[in-house]
Amino acid sequence: MFSSTISQRQRISRMLFLFITGAALFVFLCSSVDVYSFAPLGAIYELLWLPTLAALVVVPFIALKFWFDERFKLFSFNLYTVLIATVAILFIVLK
């Protein structure tokens, strides 16, 4: 079958990192662009804003759990996932 040197937890960590990076980009782009000026863009925004906010709240806790299991490695995708989510949440709150 499929053999790889990357463990399942590392794959999940990378997926969480990419997912939260996409969510943060969504937050930053939607705050800088008038999403309601073009109807399809406004519809996409309306569909994605709640799942994005939920991801920004839930995913950092999962990443913290994985980071704790890694014994707090400094060069871990989980650490950067938490940092990106924190910056995105602070951007939303302080904007």
**Over the stretch 19-73, which tens digit does the pLDDT of each residue have?**
999 999 999 999 999 999 999 999 999 999 999 999 999 999 999 999 999 899 9
Q: What is the pLDDT of residues 10-28, one digit of tens each?
A: 899 999 999 999 999 999 9
Cα angle 82, 56, 5; round to 5: 50
- C-alpha–C-alpha distance, residues 52 and 24, integer Å: 8
